Structure formats: structure tokens, C-alpha cells
Amino acid sequence: MTTTGTLKFRKYQEKRAGDFKDKWYGKAVQDRMVEFEDFVTHMSEHNSPYSRGVIHGVLIDMLSCLQELVLDGKSVRLGELGLFSIGMSTSPAATAQEFTAANIKGVHLNVRNTKTWSNQELRKRCRLTELTAYAGTPQEGGGGGGGEDDRPVIE
């Protein structure tokens, strides 16, 4: 089964100084968020032999185990969904001796895609639609805002 979808995007003009200032770009945006409970219901309504409660329990346990393993420094491959691992952002140090834990500025979840979820494959499956009825900037809750806030986070 090949799934396709619509990639919604918004145009924006780069305002930061540099070679890219005042040039126009596109950012992927999401027009809504599907909450966990709604996702569970969605799964249970796809001809699943499992009840909503079973799916909910399995996913809650999966998230807990995924978080435990990732926080223990392991990479976890969830089939074709992706490879999950922990990453970090750091500030530089002039020498290895000067680099300490204080240089670690943030920790984030890395998700690397797989063959069927490769960037090329995702692009083939997306219809592109400009989202023009979008209120607010990408940083105001529409997603695709750029920077560290776009990284997935385990909660």
C-alpha cells in the first residue's frame, strides 16, 4: 500500500543579514495537530482487530521503552518508521581539555528516516499545496518555523 499526502507550505522572506537576506523560501507547515488519543482512535478505525484500548496500551508502553533506551544512549530502529537516537547541540571549545559538560547547550531527539521514508520517497508521495489562509508566522504555532524548535522532542 502506497500512502500519499499533501505537503502544505508557506512562503517567507529571509530577514536575517547575509547572502540570503530578502530572498524568498518555502517552509512546510502543519494546519493542525493530531493528539495522541486521536491518533489511537485513527489507528483503531483502520480495520484493526485490536481495540482502541489495546492500541493505546501498546503505544504508551512503546513510548516509555523508546524513551528509556534512547536516554540510555541506544539507537532504536522502529522498522520503516525510522531510527531514533539522542543528539545534542554544543558550544565550541578551543581544545579537547576545555570542552566540558557545560558546553552542552541542549539535548534533542534525532529521527533518521529509512528507505521507504527517505527524503526522496517522501517527496514523490507529496502533493504540494500552498497554505495561504494561514494566520500568523510559522513561529506562532504553525510549524515549520526553522531552528531548534522544529526538532522532535520526547515528552
- What would you report as the CA-atom Rg of the chain, rounded to the nearest whole angstrom? 19
Question: pLDDT in tens for each of the 155 residues of the chain?
Answer: 567 788 888 888 888 888 888 888 888 888 888 899 999 999 999 888 999 999 999 999 999 999 999 999 999 999 888 899 999 999 999 999 999 999 999 999 999 988 777 888 888 888 888 877 644 544 444 343 333 344 333 33
What is the C-alpha separation between 152 and 155, in angstroms, rounded? Answer: 9
Helix (H) or strand (E) holding 70: helix 52-71
User: Cell 514523490 maps to which residue?
Assistant: 124
Ordered by start, the domain boundaries in the chain are 73-114
The single-letter DSSP state of residue 118 is: -
Could you tell me which residues come within 8 angstroms of residue 26 by beta carbon, excluding any fewer than 6 positions away? 9, 10, 11, 12
Collapse the DSSP code of 61 into the 3-class scheme (helix H, G, I; strand E, B; otherwise coil) and give the result.
helix
Single-letter amino acid code for the residue at 48: S
